Copies of this chain bind each other. A is one copy, B any other.
Amino acid sequence: MSVGRIICAGLGPGDPDLISVRSARAIRCARHVAYFRKAGRQGQARRIVEGMLSPRAIEHVMEYPVTTELPFDSPEYIHLLATFYNDWAARLRALVTAGEEVVVLCEGDPFLYGSFMHLYERLKDHVPVDVIPGIPGMVGCWNASGLPITWGDDVLTVLMGTLPETELIRHMAGADALVIMKTGRNLPRVRRALEAAGRLDEAWLVERGTMPGQRIVRLADVDSADCPYFAIVLVHGHGRRPVTGGEE
């Protein structure tokens, strides 16, 4: 019996039309489709491919263990997650060893802060794994903003809102263009840091970029109690401006 493989299909920023030709083909042909989701939710990855799966596709829902009562960095939580990833890696590996091809869905680009890595680390030395890149979520967000994120020699820094405030400030002051992910409940700290770095007036909040209900607002105008979940903060670079001649 031939050995199958894992295909991790990058899904891009959310609009199904922004999936790559190769990923779209893999998704439409898939016999086995696996994806992560939070308990009780449809899941963002599954929503993006709605209408694309074959009626005969077998869905493997990798539902995160419920962890509301455990702190994110507690040993119990870490153990629970490790067990969850080990269990799913073993199940997918068994399918592949039995000759099956399994398409794992991954929002954005799988190698840029993607949760697929937890499976990749456990599988890549044992079974064939192909990873198809995707348009990162942040690229969809700056596209939605209608402005180039970087020009000329701009320095672009991508930060997580979970970082300590002093680190955020240092990076925000040092780069031309900024992308801040994992905002959510960290948004008040991100906002204070941008203000301290003198960048708050240039900052935009992009919520659900390229998806239904997309919202783009100046961060300074957002109510401080408003911490949307699917949101990214952007500061555009000014760079070495393109040369503009007689027309302007």
Contacts and interface: CB of A to CB of B under 8 A. Distances in A.
Interface in A112-140: 112-114, 117-118, 120-122, 131-136, 139-140
Classify chain A's interface size. Answer: 35 or more
A242 B89 contact: no
A89 B20 contact: no
Contacts of A210: 133
A54 interface: no
A231 to B, nearest CB: 17
Contact of A86 (B117, B120, B247): B247
Given A86-B247, A112-B148, A143 B159 contact: no
Contacts of A78: 243
Interface of A: 12-13, 15-22, 24, 78-79, 81-83, 85-86, 89-90, 109-114, 117-118, 120-122, 131-136, 139-140, 142-143, 146-160, 162-163, 167, 170-171, 174-175, 210, 242-247
A157 B160 contact: no
A184 to B, nearest CB: 14
Contact of A159 (B117, B155, B242): B155
